[in-house]
Structure 1
C-alpha cells in the first residue's frame, strides 16, 4: 500500500515504520504524502489504541530530503509539499490513539517536529535531536513552532529554533522536550513496554483526556501551520536558503547575509 513507510498491526497496538533506510529515512515528498494519508486513515481505525512510530536502519529520520530539494530535474513543489506536511501534523495531533515516538540515531527537522507531536517521546541516549531548519535558512514546519512551544514555552522555543542546536537525548530530556531516555538499541523495546502499560489501563479515559486537551489547541495549531506554509514558501526563495543548501551539499560553512 505504501512505498516509503509500513503500517503493521499487532492487536490493539500498531507500528508506523519509516522505511527509507538508504537515505536515513529522509522525508521526500512521497513520504510526507504517505505519512499524511496514513495518519488520516488511522483516525478512523477504532481497532487500534496505541501507535508506535519508529524508523528502520541507522536513524529515526534525518528530516526533509535535501537531495530532493536541490534536484534540478525534478524540483520540489514547495506549496504542494507544505499541504501534505500540514495534513500530516493535523492528523497526527488529532489521532485518537496514544502515540509514541521511538527514536534512535538522528531525529532532525520535520522528523523532530513529528516526534514532538506524539504523546510520548522515547530516545536512545546516543540520539541526535535537532530542530535545525535554521542551518539552511528555513523555519520549522510540521507544526514545529507549535509543538516546541507546547513543550517548553515561547521564550525557550525561540532560542532553540534560532540556535538549531543538535541535542543529545539527556539534554532534550532536561529541557522538557522528551519523556524518556534509554540505552542504545532499547528505544523500541521501551516504547513497547509503555504501550502495553497503556493497553492495560482504562485507555478510553486516556483517549478522552487527550481529545479534550488537544481540541483546546487545534485552532492554534492550524494557525501555526498556515503561517509555516506561507513562511516556508517565502524562505525557499531567499538568498540565505540557497546559500545554506549549497553549503550543506558542499560540506562547508554557510555565509549568510540576512537576505
Structure 2
C-alpha cells in the first residue's frame, strides 16, 4: 500500500515504520504524503489504541530530504509539501491512539518534530536529537514550534530553535524534551513494554483525557502550521538558506549574512 512507510497492526497495537534506511529515513515528498495519508486513516480506526512509530535501519529520521530539495530535475513542490505537512501534523496530534516514538540514531529536523508530537518519547542513550533547521537558514516545520512549546514553554523553545544544537538523549530528557532514555538497541523493546502497560490500564479513559487536552489546542496548532508554511516559503528564497544548503553540500561552515 505504501512505498516509504509500513503500517502493521497486531491486535490493539500498530507499528508505523519509516522505510528509507539508505537515506536515514530522510523524508522526501512521497514519505510526507504517505505519513499524512496513514495518520488520516488512523483517525477513524478505533480498533487500534496504541501506535508505535520508529525507523528502519540506523536512524529514526534525519529530517527533510535535502538532496531532493536541491534536485534541479525534480525539485520538491513546496506548496504540496507544506499542505501534506499540515495534514500530517494535525492528524498525528489528534490521533485516537496513545502514540509512542521509539528513537534510535538520529531524530533531526522534521524527524524531531514528529517525535515531539507523540504522547511518549523514548530515545536510546546515544541518539542524536536536533531541531536543526537554523543550520540551513530555515524555521522548524511540521508543527515544530508548537510541539517544542508544548513540551518546554516559549522561552526554552526559542533557545532550542535558535541554537539548533544536537543533543544526546540524557540532555534532551533533562530539558523535558523526551520522556525516557534506554540503552542502545532497546528503544523498540521499551516502547512495546510501555504499550503493554497502556493496554493493561483504563486506556479508554486515557484517550478521553488526551482528546480533551488536545482538542483545546487544535486551533492554535493550525495557526502555527499556517505561519510555518508561510515562513518556510519565504526562508527558502533567502540568501542565508542558499548559503546554508551550499555549505552543507560542501561540508564547510556557512557564512550567513542575515538576508
TM-score above 0.5, yes or no: yes
Which 5+ residue runs of structure 2 have no aligned equivalent?
A: none
Matched, 1:13 2:13: yes
Counterparts in 2 of 1:85-96, with a 5 A limit? 85-96=85-96
For residue 15 of structure 1, give the secondary structure of its aligned residue in structure 2: strand
Per-residue CA deviations over 1:144-179 (Å, capped at 9, x if unaligned) read 000000000000000000000100000000000000
CA RMSD of aligned residues (A): 0.4
Name the CA distance, whole Å, in 2 between partners of 1:61 and 1:150. Answer: 21
Could you say which residue in structure 2 is the equivalent of 1:158?
158
Could you say which residue in structure 2 is the equivalent of 1:22?
22
Name the CA distance, whole Å, in 2 between partners of 1:115 and 1:155. Answer: 20
Matched, 1:48 2:28: no
Counterparts in 2 of 1:37-116, with a 5 A limit? 37-116=37-116
Report the CA distance between 1:78 and its aligned residue.
Answer: 1.0
Report the CA distance between 1:75 and its aligned residue.
Answer: 1.0
Per-residue CA deviations over 1:118-138 (Å, capped at 9, x if unaligned) read 000000000000000000000
Could you say which residue in structure 2 is the equivalent of 1:129?
129
Could you say which residue in structure 2 is the equivalent of 1:218?
218
TM-score of the aligned structures, taking structure 2 as reference length: 1.00
Report the CA distance between 1:61 and its aligned residue.
Answer: 0.5
Could you say which residue in structure 2 is the equivalent of 1:204?
204
Could you say which residue in structure 2 is the equivalent of 1:230?
230
Name the CA distance, whole Å, in 2 between partners of 1:126 and 1:73. Answer: 37
For residue 188 of structure 2, give the secondary structure of its aligned residue in structure 1: helix
Report the CA distance between 1:209 and its aligned residue.
Answer: 0.1
Aligned length: 259
Could you say which residue in structure 1 is the equivalent of 2:142?
142
Name the CA distance, whole Å, in 2 between partners of 1:59 and 1:146. Answer: 24
Report the CA distance between 1:229 and its aligned residue.
Answer: 0.4
Per-residue CA deviations over 1:181-228 (Å, capped at 9, x if unaligned) read 000000000000000000001110000000000011110000000000
Report the CA distance between 1:76 and its aligned residue.
Answer: 1.1
Name the CA distance, whole Å, in 1 between partners of 2:137 and 2:81. Answer: 17
Moved over 6 A (4+): none
Name the CA distance, whole Å, in 2 between partners of 1:209 and 1:113. Answer: 22
Which 5+ residue runs of structure 1 have no aligned equivalent?
A: none
Could you say which residue in structure 2 is the equivalent of 1:31?
31
For residue 95 of structure 1, give the secondary structure of its aligned residue in structure 2: coil
Name the CA distance, whole Å, in 2 between partners of 1:45 and 1:96. Answer: 8
Name the CA distance, whole Å, in 2 between partners of 1:25 and 1:165. Answer: 20
Report the CA distance between 1:46 and its aligned residue.
Answer: 1.3
TM-score of the aligned structures, taking structure 1 as reference length: 1.00
